[in-house]
């Protein structure tokens, strides 16, 4: 009896909150195009808008959307918003949809698909990061791909110049191999200069060389007078835990069974890495984003949830925004088969007490 009443009260409260949300939405629309290129945005305030975010991985950064069994649906954005996330990061393989020779035109149909995804996010008041992801050719032969990389950004910058400042551009996911620090410092400068011609104040995310490693912050050189930047790093340590059994990491089957139980030594190792990043951020007065972190599904769920929670809270304690890797594939916080959340991971990311989650929970009661 008491339980039934409680559910009714919850349902009414949820509805009331939703209605407040709706009326706020109509008063304060976040439209994809607000008609002006963003200016005067505070990068720290914009980083707070990224807040707790979700990577929509394995969709648009596959060679073609669907190749890796993920095709974006509008309900994904709804689920992510209702669970209490603030933003989405959309990894995109533009290099597979741009011509091989100058002027390196981006295919219109693919551009429109990305427009659709951005609009889905904005319609739900989610901020959006788009990037260039899996441009593997530039890592192996930087000189041969530099002009194409810059041309892709010129096209994107022009196309999105009048979009709201809650659209963020991230220059290039995980520079690695021959695109090492020195070269990356030159390329990022040129990409920023190209984007700034049409987007003087948009907030850009710039990551470090060597796969966005925290230890590469010390070799990162940014244009000192451009304050509209957020610096991104990725976090997958201990790698033998997070990537056990990952078929794209040779030898990782030998790590199967590696657990993470949050011993003092395990926690301190993560805290040390994050304070190294935070000190760099403070010394350079740059906001920081953990653009990816996650533990692959071959690890046990208890360890995954403990690690995920610890990393997310440590990032937050250091004032960093974050994007979990990822929504609905091998690291997935959402299970495509049961069509429901992996609740231990969801609660690790968004603590159960979060008001936004209370609303989501009453719409679809968790176990």
364 half-sphere exposure, CB direction, 13 A CA radius? 9
User: At closest approach, how far in Å is the CB of 350 from ligand BGC?
Assistant: 21
Instruction: Determine which residue in the list 65, 166, 170, 174 makes contact with ligand BGC, applying CB under 6 A.
Output: 174
Query: Rounded to the nearest whole angstrom, what is the least distance from the CB of residue 265 to ligand BGC in the complex?
Result: 24
Instruction: Provide the minimum distance between the beta carbon of 92 and ligand BGC in the complex, in angstroms, as a whole number.
Output: 11
Pick the closer one to ligand BGC by CB: 199 or 297.
297
Q: Residue holding tokens 């060597």?
A: 210
- Restricted to residues 243-262, the positions that interact with ligand BGC (CB under 6 A) are none
Q: Which two tokens stand for residue 360?
A: 């989501």
Check: CB of residue 59 under 8 Å from CB of residue 68.
yes
- Options 174, 266, 276, 326, the catalytic residue: 174
Q: Are 181 and 261 in contact (CB under 8 A)?
A: no
Tell me whether residue 133 or residue 298 sits nearer to ligand BGC (CB atom): 133
Tokens 């916080």, residue located: 333
Least distance (Å) from ligand BGC to the CB of residue 136?
Answer: 10
Please enumerate in sequence order all residues whose Cβ is within 8 A of that of 39, keeping only pairs 6 or more positions apart, or say none. 200, 201
Q: Are 336 and 328 in contact (CB under 8 A)?
A: yes
H or E element, residue 284: helix 264-284
Site string (116-155) toward ligand BGC, x via CB under 6 A: -----------------xx---------------------
> 122 or 331, CB closer to ligand BGC?
331
Rule CB under 6 A: say whether 292 interacts with ligand BGC: yes
Q: Are 187 and 149 in contact (CB under 8 A)?
A: yes
Of 173 and 210, the one with the shorter C-beta distance to ligand BGC is 173
> Quick one: tokens of 39?
């200016």
Q: Does 166 bind ligand BGC (CB under 6 A)?
A: no
Provide, rounded to whole angstroms, the least separation between the CB of residue 133 and ligand BGC: 6
Nearest distance in Å: CB 248, ligand BGC: 7
Q: Does 65 bind ligand BGC (CB under 6 A)?
A: no
Nearer to ligand BGC, 152 or 295 (CB): 295
Categorise residue 218: left if φ over 0, alpha if ψ from -120 to 50, beta otherwise. Answer: alpha
152 vs 194 by CB, closer to ligand BGC: 152
Binding mask 309-328 for ligand BGC (x = CB under 6 A): ----------------x---
Nearer to ligand BGC by Cβ, of 41 and 249: the residue is: 249
| Residue tagged active-site, from 170, 266, 292, 326 | 292
Q: Which residues pair with 168 in a beta bridge?
A: 129
Quick check: 194 and 232 in contact, CB under 8 A?
no
Exposed (0-12), middle (13-18) or buried (19+): which is 2, by Cβ within 10 Å? exposed
Six-digit token string for 317: 């304690």
DSSP character string of 188-252? HHHHHHHHHTT-SS--EEEE-HHHH-GGGGGG----TT---EEEEEEE--SHHHHTTT-TTSTTG
Number of residues that bind ligand BGC (CB under 6 A): 6
- Asked whether the bond before 238 is cis by omega within 30 degrees of 0, the reply is yes
- Least distance in Å: CB of 178 to ligand BGC? 18
CA-CA-CA-CA dihedral for 232, 182, 200, 164, to nearest 10: -30
Q: Is 147 a catalytic residue?
A: no
Integer Cα distance of 171 and 153 in angstroms: 8
d(CA 227, CA 201): 9
- Contacts with ligand BGC by CB under 6 A lie at 133-134, 173-174, 292, 325
Catalytic residue numbers, as ranges: 174, 292
């Amino acid at each position: 009896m008491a339980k039934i009443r409680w559910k009714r009260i919850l349902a009414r409260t949820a509805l009331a909150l939703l209605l407040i949300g709706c009326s706020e939405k109509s008063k304060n629309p976040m439209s994809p195009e607000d008609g002006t290129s963003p200016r005067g945005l505070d990068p720290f305030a914009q980083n707070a808008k990224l807040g707790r975010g979700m990577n929509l991985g394995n969709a648009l950064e596959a060679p073609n959307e669907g190749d890796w069994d993920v095709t974006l649906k509008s309900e994904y954005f709804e689920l992510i918003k209702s669970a209490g996330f603030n933003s989405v990061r959309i990894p995109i393989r533009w290099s597979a949809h741009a011509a091989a020779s100058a002027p390196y035109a981006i295919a219109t149909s693919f551009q429109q698909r990305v427009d659709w995804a951005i609009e889905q996010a904005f319609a739900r008041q989610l901020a959006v990061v788009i990037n260039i992801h899996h441009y593997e050719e530039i890592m192996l032969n930087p000189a041969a791909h530099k002009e194409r990389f810059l041309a892709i950004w010129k096209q994107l910058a022009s196309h999105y110049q009048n979009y709201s400042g809650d659209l963020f551009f991230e220059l290039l996911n995980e520079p690695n191999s021959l695109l090492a620090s020195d070269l990356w410092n030159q390329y990022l400068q040129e990409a920023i200069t190209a984007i700034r011609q049409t987007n003087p104040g948009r907030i850009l995310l710039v990551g470090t060389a060597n796969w966005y490693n925290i230890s590469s912050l010390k070799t990162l050189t940014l244009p000192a007078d451009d304050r509209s930047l957020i610096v991104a790093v990725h976090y997958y340590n201990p790698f033998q835990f997070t990537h056990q059994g990952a078929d794209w990491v040779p030898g990782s089957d030998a790590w199967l069974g590696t657990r993470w139980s949050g011993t003092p030594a395990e926690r301190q190792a993560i805290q040390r890495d994050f304070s190294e990043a935070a000190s760099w951020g403070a010394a350079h007065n740059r906001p920081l984003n953990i653009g990816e972190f996650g533990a692959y599904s071959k690890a046990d769920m208890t360890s995954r949830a403990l690690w995920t929670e610890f990393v997310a809270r440590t990032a937050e304690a250091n004032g960093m925004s974050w994007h979990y890797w990822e929504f609905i594939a091998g690291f997935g916080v959402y299970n495509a088969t049961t069509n429901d959340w992996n609740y231990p991971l969801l609660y690790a990311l968004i603590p159960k007490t979060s008001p936004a989650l209370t609303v989501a929970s009453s719409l679809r009661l968790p176990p």
